[in-house]
Structure 1
Protein backbone atom coordinates (compact mmCIF):
# COMPACT_ATOMS: atom_id res chain seq x y z
CA UNK A 1 0.00 0.00 0.00
CA UNK A 2 1.28 3.48 -0.85
CA UNK A 3 0.23 6.79 0.62
CA UNK A 4 0.07 10.45 -0.38
CA UNK A 5 -0.86 13.31 1.94
CA UNK A 6 -2.64 16.47 0.73
CA UNK A 7 -2.11 19.79 2.50
CA UNK A 8 -5.22 21.31 4.07
CA UNK A 9 -3.99 24.86 3.46
CA UNK A 10 -2.71 24.84 -0.13
CA UNK A 11 -2.47 22.52 -3.14
CA UNK A 12 0.65 20.65 -1.96
CA UNK A 13 0.69 16.84 -2.27
CA UNK A 14 3.48 14.60 -1.01
CA UNK A 15 4.98 12.07 -3.42
CA UNK A 16 3.64 8.52 -3.23
CA UNK A 17 5.51 6.43 -0.68
CA UNK A 18 5.21 4.47 2.52
CA UNK A 19 2.91 5.88 5.16
CA UNK A 20 5.81 7.14 7.27
CA UNK A 21 7.57 8.76 4.27
CA UNK A 22 4.41 10.55 3.17
CA UNK A 23 3.59 11.66 6.72
CA UNK A 24 7.13 12.98 7.20
CA UNK A 25 6.85 14.98 3.97
CA UNK A 26 3.50 16.34 5.12
CA UNK A 27 4.78 17.47 8.51
CA UNK A 28 7.94 18.94 6.94
CA UNK A 29 5.76 20.90 4.51
CA UNK A 30 3.67 22.31 7.36
CA UNK A 31 6.79 23.20 9.36
CA UNK A 32 8.25 25.23 6.48
CA UNK A 33 5.15 26.62 4.73
CA UNK A 34 2.52 26.83 7.46
CA UNK A 35 4.52 27.24 10.67
CA UNK A 36 2.36 27.30 13.76
CA UNK A 37 -0.57 25.50 12.14
CA UNK A 38 -1.55 21.97 13.00
CA UNK A 39 -1.15 19.68 9.95
CA UNK A 40 -4.45 18.98 8.24
CA UNK A 41 -5.74 17.78 4.91
CA UNK A 42 -6.38 14.35 3.48
CA UNK A 43 -4.60 11.03 3.10
CA UNK A 44 -4.87 9.17 -0.20
CA UNK A 45 -4.07 5.46 -0.46
CA UNK A 46 -3.42 3.17 -3.40
CA UNK A 47 -2.47 -0.48 -3.80
CA UNK A 48 0.71 0.74 -5.50
CA UNK A 49 1.97 4.08 -6.73
CA UNK A 50 -0.01 5.11 -9.82
CA UNK A 51 1.89 5.67 -13.06
CA UNK A 52 3.00 9.20 -13.70
CA UNK A 53 0.36 11.29 -15.40
CA UNK A 54 0.87 11.38 -19.13
CA UNK A 55 3.10 8.31 -19.13
CA UNK A 56 0.70 6.30 -21.32
CA UNK A 57 0.74 8.75 -24.25
CA UNK A 58 4.55 8.92 -24.10
CA UNK A 59 4.74 5.15 -24.48
CA UNK A 60 2.31 5.15 -27.41
CA UNK A 61 4.23 7.94 -29.10
CA UNK A 62 7.51 6.05 -28.75
CA UNK A 63 5.98 2.90 -30.27
CA UNK A 64 4.55 4.92 -33.18
CA UNK A 65 7.88 6.65 -33.87
CA UNK A 66 9.80 3.37 -33.73
CA UNK A 67 7.26 1.79 -36.07
CA UNK A 68 7.65 4.62 -38.58
CA UNK A 69 11.44 4.36 -38.41
CA UNK A 70 11.21 0.62 -39.02
CA UNK A 71 8.99 1.16 -42.07
CA UNK A 72 11.39 3.78 -43.48
CA UNK A 73 14.37 1.44 -43.04
CA UNK A 74 12.53 -1.50 -44.62
CA UNK A 75 11.38 0.57 -47.58
CA UNK A 76 14.88 1.99 -48.11
CA UNK A 77 16.44 -1.51 -48.10
CA UNK A 78 13.91 -2.81 -50.61
CA UNK A 79 15.08 -0.52 -53.40
Structure 2
Protein backbone atom coordinates (compact mmCIF):
# COMPACT_ATOMS: atom_id res chain seq x y z
CA UNK A 1 0.00 0.00 0.00
CA UNK A 2 1.76 3.08 -1.26
CA UNK A 3 -0.27 5.73 0.58
CA UNK A 4 -0.12 4.26 4.05
CA UNK A 5 2.08 6.66 6.00
CA UNK A 6 1.53 10.12 7.44
CA UNK A 7 3.84 12.02 9.77
CA UNK A 8 2.85 14.48 12.49
CA UNK A 9 5.11 17.28 13.73
CA UNK A 10 5.96 17.07 17.42
CA UNK A 11 6.18 20.85 17.74
CA UNK A 12 3.04 22.21 16.09
CA UNK A 13 0.87 19.25 15.11
CA UNK A 14 1.38 19.72 11.34
CA UNK A 15 0.49 16.56 9.40
CA UNK A 16 1.92 15.46 6.09
CA UNK A 17 -0.29 14.06 3.36
CA UNK A 18 -0.73 10.28 3.17
CA UNK A 19 2.04 8.78 1.08
CA UNK A 20 4.86 6.30 1.08
CA UNK A 21 7.13 6.05 4.10
CA UNK A 22 9.96 7.84 2.33
CA UNK A 23 7.68 10.61 0.99
CA UNK A 24 6.37 11.27 4.49
CA UNK A 25 9.83 11.30 6.02
CA UNK A 26 11.04 13.79 3.40
CA UNK A 27 7.95 15.98 3.88
CA UNK A 28 8.31 16.15 7.67
CA UNK A 29 12.03 16.91 7.38
CA UNK A 30 11.20 19.72 4.96
CA UNK A 31 8.55 21.02 7.36
CA UNK A 32 11.02 21.05 10.24
CA UNK A 33 13.58 22.82 8.07
CA UNK A 34 11.09 25.60 7.25
CA UNK A 35 9.11 25.87 10.47
CA UNK A 36 11.49 24.70 13.17
CA UNK A 37 15.01 25.14 11.77
CA UNK A 38 16.91 24.62 15.03
CA UNK A 39 14.93 21.61 16.26
CA UNK A 40 15.75 17.97 15.54
CA UNK A 41 12.83 16.44 13.58
CA UNK A 42 10.53 14.44 15.82
CA UNK A 43 6.85 13.77 16.16
CA UNK A 44 5.18 10.55 15.20
CA UNK A 45 4.33 8.43 12.20
CA UNK A 46 0.85 7.09 11.54
CA UNK A 47 0.17 3.94 9.57
CA UNK A 48 -3.13 3.48 7.77
CA UNK A 49 -4.32 -0.07 7.29
CA UNK A 50 -6.14 -1.18 4.18
CA UNK A 51 -9.88 -1.66 3.98
CA UNK A 52 -11.11 -4.07 6.58
CA UNK A 53 -14.26 -6.09 6.84
CA UNK A 54 -15.86 -3.95 9.50
CA UNK A 55 -19.32 -2.54 9.15
CA UNK A 56 -22.54 -3.36 7.40
CA UNK A 57 -20.92 -4.86 4.28
CA UNK A 58 -19.65 -7.91 6.14
CA UNK A 59 -22.87 -8.30 8.09
CA UNK A 60 -24.83 -8.32 4.84
CA UNK A 61 -22.51 -10.90 3.25
CA UNK A 62 -22.71 -13.08 6.35
CA UNK A 63 -26.51 -12.82 6.37
CA UNK A 64 -26.76 -13.86 2.70
CA UNK A 65 -24.43 -16.79 3.36
CA UNK A 66 -26.52 -17.99 6.31
CA UNK A 67 -29.70 -17.64 4.24
CA UNK A 68 -28.19 -19.70 1.42
CA UNK A 69 -27.13 -22.39 3.88
CA UNK A 70 -30.64 -22.56 5.34
CA UNK A 71 -32.17 -22.83 1.87
CA UNK A 72 -29.66 -25.49 0.83
CA UNK A 73 -30.29 -27.57 3.95
CA UNK A 74 -34.07 -27.64 3.34
CA UNK A 75 -33.76 -29.27 -0.09
What TM-score do the two structures reach when normalised by structure 1? 0.57
What's the CA shift for 1:3?
0.3
Q: Give me the whole-angstrom Cα distance separating, in 2, the residues matched to 1:34 and 1:10.
A: 9
Q: Report the aligned-residue RMSD.
A: 1.0
Q: Unpaired runs of 5+ in structure 1?
A: 49-79
Q: Unpaired runs of 5+ in structure 2?
A: 51-75
Superposed structure 1 runs of 4+ greater than 4 Å apart:
none
Equivalenced residues, count: 48
The structure that is strand-richer by fraction is 1
Does the residue aligned with 1:44 lie in a helix, a strand or coil? strand
